[in-house]
């Protein structure tokens, strides 16, 4: 079943995702960086500093950056090649808070080596760097009505940076939840029931999509299948146990959204699903709760939840004070391209023709300079995304 009014729905998904990211990023704890809130207006985005670099109100982190990188890849004739050889290596120049597994994989791709061959511990990477970025695959799939193709793309995308079933199953679970909200009219319990009933669809190990020679030393299909099934079984038990009688922190503790498992792909997907149900009819309250967690991964949980809320709710749930998220016009253009049925052609039309001398080539498409800030070059892509490039 294809989705109705795709561009409008997808705009809400991307806006919800970016708003959650921008709200949660200042609250993300990291021992490696120093953060300081400078201004925090009620009902709006804060102005803050990270290692003395000023972060303007509404600016987002790697969650939205990676989502837009995947979206640009889907606007390319060969999305996998573009993501692995252009987007991930170029991410190293502008990323804002990307996780270790994603950065190590990006460095490996920059050397021309797939991470399963070039990154030690790749198969142990179970973080939420995949679940945060896969919404564009679901959008394209909803237009065509192809769930199987969507799940295949999500899985193949995930393999580019992460090898552990926690990362991949978390992304597949989130993709199915987004899909269900896009095509079904049921409630939260219907979604939870469908997630269990159709685990054989979203939760199977897609052996046919594994690249040749993918298994690292010490691993084979049999061992990996056992690990995959163990993670899947545990997720399904948690979905069946999930109760809206739990208080927010009790539920997040049970599901791993706070505590030592926070930041894994499976815990992020299930925690977002729980908060979606808990705040089925109070979306802003749920998004603010996720973004303010101190013992978790607030920007990613809020962005993943924001995508679900955007697919679930119509316009109006994001208040005026939060509509000034960074690159809003870019998010709307991206949603229009992904909802067009021809992302490659739509992106070409939206970007128009360049003006000689104003734009310069880059691995991810033409960009133009907007000056410098804090020693970084501020640039804009043809669709309107703002990047702060390390000068090389």
What are the binding residues? Answer: 61-63, 297, 299-300
The first and second tokens of residue 246, run together, are 């739990």
Q: Calculate Rg over the CA atoms of the chain.
A: 20
Which residues are CB-neighbours of 307 under 8 A, at least 6 positions away? 13, 14, 16, 17, 20, 135, 174, 178
What are the binding residues for Mg(2+)? Answer: 61-63, 297, 299-300
Of 296, 378, 323, residue with least CA distance to 28: 296
Give the relative orientation of helices 6-24 and 328-338 as an angle to the nearest 10 degrees.
Answer: 140
Of 111, 72, 99, residue with least CA distance to 164: 99
Phi-psi region of 341 (alpha: psi -120 to 50; beta: other; left: phi over 0): left
Residue 51 CB neighbour total at 10 angstroms: 10
CA 131 – CA 189 distance, rounded (Å): 22
User: Phi/psi of residue 47, each to 5°?
Assistant: -100, 130
Phi-psi region of 375 (alpha: psi -120 to 50; beta: other; left: phi over 0): left
Strand partners, 47: 39
CA 61 – CA 49 distance, rounded (Å): 13
- Given a contact cutoff of 8 angstroms between Cβ atoms, the answer to whether 182 and 142 are in contact is yes
Q: Round to the nearest angstrom and report the end-to-end CA distance of the chain.
A: 48
CA 315 – CA 9 distance, rounded (Å): 9
């Amino acid at each position: 079943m294809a989705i109705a009014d795709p561009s409008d729905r997808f705009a809400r998904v991307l806006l919800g995702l970016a708003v959650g990211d921008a709200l949660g990023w200042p609250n993300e704890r990291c021992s490696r960086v120093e953060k300081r809130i400078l201004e925090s207006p009620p009902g709006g985005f804060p102005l803050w500093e990270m290692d003395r670099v000023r972060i303007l109100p509404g600016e987002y982190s790697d969650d939205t950056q990676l989502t837009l990188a995947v979206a640009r890849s889907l606007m390319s004739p060969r999305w996998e090649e573009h993501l692995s050889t252009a987007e991930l290596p170029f991410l190293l120049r502008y990323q804002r808070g990307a996780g270790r597994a994603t950065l190590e994989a990006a460095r490996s791709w920059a050397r021309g080596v797939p991470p399963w061959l070039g990154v030690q511990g790749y198969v142990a990477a179970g973080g939420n760097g995949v679940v945060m970025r896969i919404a564009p695959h679901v959008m394209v799939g909803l237009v065509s009505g192809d769930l199987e193709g969507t799940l295949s793309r999500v899985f193949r995308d995930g393999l580019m940076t992460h090898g552990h079933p926690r990362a991949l199953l978390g992304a597949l679970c989130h993709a199915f939840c987004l899909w269900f909200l896009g095509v079904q009219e049921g409630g939260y319990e219907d979604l939870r029931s469908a997630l269990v009933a159709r685990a054989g669809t979203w939760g199977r190990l897609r052996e046919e999509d594994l690249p040749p020679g993918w298994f690292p030393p010490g691993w084979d299909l049999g061992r990996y299948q056992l690990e995959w099934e163990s993670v899947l079984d545990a997720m399904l038990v948690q979905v069946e146990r999930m109760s809206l009688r739990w208080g927010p922190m009790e539920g997040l503790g049970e599901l791993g959204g706070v505590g030592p498992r926070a930041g894994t792909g499976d815990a992020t997907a299930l925690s977002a699903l729980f908060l979606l149900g808990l705040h089925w009819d109070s979306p802003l309250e749920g998004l603010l709760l996720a973004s303010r967690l101190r013992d978790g991964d607030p920007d990613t949980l809020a962005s993943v939840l924001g995508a679900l809320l955007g697919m679930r709710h119509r316009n109006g749930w994001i208040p005026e004070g939060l509509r000034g998220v960074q690159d809003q016009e870019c998010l709307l253009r991206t949603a229009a391209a992904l909802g067009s049925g021809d992302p490659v052609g739509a992106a070409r039309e939206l970007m128009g023709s360049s003006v000689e001398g104003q734009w310069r080539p880059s691995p991810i498409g033409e960009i133009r300079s907007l000056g410098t800030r804090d020693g970084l070059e501020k640039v804009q892509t043809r669709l309107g995304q703002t990047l702060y490039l390390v000068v090389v």
